Structure 1
């Protein structure tokens, strides 16, 4: 991928990838950060991003961004555990919910991480079950199970009340 092709890829892919990671993580700022970091890493590998063995540059960036988010969660959890072990009593108030948070993001937050990721990849990113399995490293049967459970969990939360009911 040439520099110009990468710049075009970046310009056209940033917003959709941030949206996808936002749905996966439930945190817009985190999604922006990890997608940006993934693009920085992609820049150094741009000559290999369009190789026939890859699922595509957007899948590569999305996977790297997801892994960065998971890594940050783990680091944060370990730091919290370390603070608790050392009996720190400093409490930071929870942040206020982001204005404009949509019902979908709130509903997706109720799913497990794996169900949320699989649902976003399949329904938002429009990947096939096989593509989701390849990107997540889980079997197609397990992907189908997670999709079914995610649909069942999301349905009551996303149904709009009909007028006059």
Structure 2
């Protein structure tokens, strides 16, 4: 875009009116500013066309208003979905076993941890892990074996007494 194409002057002379109108329509200054900014970006991207309109300010104002309406629809749809499905059920704290497992996994080397997680939690085959990590199958098998051995040793020392004695 050339600096003398008229967009900068258009923006300077209309921005206050556009934001004021959108603020009056929405009742929320930050929403109005966001919608105006997005409308001006769209006008700038199409300035060769929009600049030739009889009233480019009306185009920007209309786009800004439509952006506000779309935001209102998203909010309304979110509220409708919330009413339909209710609040998200609360999730309790993790169990002691989960905490111990995560702590033990953190102590493993990254490659072993990745192999164990992908194999046992994501249910990927050794071949799939090899493909996804760009690693030979034998290396994946070795990482799984070493990781399991290290994880077993770590979990044996970190599990609560009643679980490790059972």
Q: Structure 2 length normalisation: TM-score?
A: 0.49
Greater RCO between the two (CA within 8 Å, min separation 6)?
1
**Between Structure 1 and Structure 2, which shows a larger proportion of helix residues?**
2
Q: Structure 1 length normalisation: TM-score?
A: 0.49
Structure with bigger gyration radius: 2
